[in-house]
Structure 1
Amino acid sequence: MTSTLKLRPLTAEAFAPFGDVIEVSGAVDKYINQGKCARYHDRAQLDFHEGRAGISIFQSQAFDLPIKLEMVERHPDGSQAFLPLSDKPFVVVVAPDNAGVPGEPVAFITAPGQGVNYHRNTWHGVLTPLHPPGLFAVVDRIGNGPNLEEYWFQNAYTITE
């Protein structure tokens, strides 16, 4: 038996329990580069335990809707930020923690220019671009030891528009 998750627009308010939406919004903190560049300062709370921040490049195959959601993962030792290197939307799935296992997932779709930062220990779906090239800059913890937990749902979810 599968349950259906309908995509909803990604907003900072709806996503706040799980992390940060990284986007151009609100007031400009300051103008730099001879006044030609607006700086929107400190858009995500990076949080790492016994490690350091690193920037990696991920390239994922594109997904087609509907999407079958069978598992989520989390990173107990560090936050994880995904910054798309294109203006194409991607799907963001998160779930609240329910005594060490994920609760009911929520599925969002990004708008052009939006990225996300998952708080440390937040259950989330895999990288799910809807269009090629599926290219992302990822800021996450670089360090020793395992930093990945996976949870496979007994019954898959179907993500639809």
Structure 2
Amino acid sequence: MQNLGLVAVAGCPAGAPATWYPSPARSRPGLSQQEGHTRGAPPQPPVPMSHRPRIAAHSLSPAAYAPYGDILMASPHGQPGRPANQGTARRFDHLAAIENLRPGHAALNVSVFRCAPRSSSPLPLALLEKHPGSTQAFVPMNARRYLVVVALGGDRPDLTTLAAFIAHGAQGITYRPGVWHHPMIALDAEADFVCLVWEDGSPGDCAVVEYAEGERVTIAIDP
């Protein structure tokens, strides 16, 4: 995938089929769906970074993240788990469903994503993607922290629902089918993630919406 301002690895592999929605022209940036420019109207000058809409990234928690997916970790809701392995472990079951909405067509793809780090703030939001037919799960293997950016919506993201979370290395996440999200962003250091998603190799695996330079929401990240 082309460099779009964030050092990240997308869930839509480079060169793979995807449904792309070009960025619509907008009269001004904002956390809302807006009308495009009138045909023939002069182009608007770039919006300075300091004047763009900004959201803050918050610590990942099950309650706040529930509209978008599940958190994969030991005892996410305080449950005690159950003994396993002759008493040497505790097991926490049914933390998430990896849904396949195209049974008989899609196959489970288990892969590893290696993400380069990004630590500067604010970060401009260059694109969002979604997987309409599958849950997607990411489980960190060696991450310190990583950024999760999500939004609800149908054909396009509803930016009024845009949220950003900082996850730590003991937390994995899922995106529910159809949840818009930014490609995985590692913070502080390079990180590997196990990824699980149902795919059939068609453009229906992944839909992408790009945002032009002047309409990108920025995300503030505490050091």
TM-score by length of 2: 0.68
Q: Distance in 2 between matches of 1:143 and 1:87?
A: 29
How has the CA–CA distance of structure 1 residues 135 and 10 changed in structure 2, closer, same or farther, with 3 Å as cutoff? same
Greater strand share, 1 or 2? 1
Query: Which residue matches 1:86?
Result: 142
Match of 1:41 in 2: 93
Which residue identity does 1:71 align to in structure 2? L
Structure index of larger Rg: 2
Q: Secondary structure at the match of 1:13?
A: helix
1:52 paired with 2:112, answer no
Letter of the structure 2 residue corresponding to residue 79 of structure 1: T
Provide the alpha-carbon RMSD of the alignment: 1.5
Deviations 1:72-122 (A, max 9, x none): 00011211000000241100000110x421012211101331111000111
Indicate the residue corresponding to 1:112 in structure 2: 169
Pairing 1:76–2:126 present: no
Separation of aligned partners in 1, 2:140 and 2:115: 11
For the residue of structure 1 that corresponds to 2:188, the secondary structure is: coil
2:64 counterpart SS class:
helix
Residue ranges of structure 2 left out of the alignment (5+ in a row) = 1-46
After superposition, the C-alpha distances for 1:112-153 in whole angstroms (9 at most, x for unaligned) are 311110001110011101032320001111323221111113
Identity %: 26
**Which aligned segments of 4 or more residues in structure 1 are displaced greater than 6 angstroms?**
none
Q: Distance in 1 between matches of 2:143 and 2:87?
A: 25
Q: Which residue of 2 aligns with 1:153?
A: 211
Judge conservation of contact 2:143–2:189 (CA < 8 Å) in 1: no
Instruction: Give the corresponding residue for 2:7.
Output: none
Point out the structure with the larger helix share.
Answer: 2
Matched residue pairs, number? 160
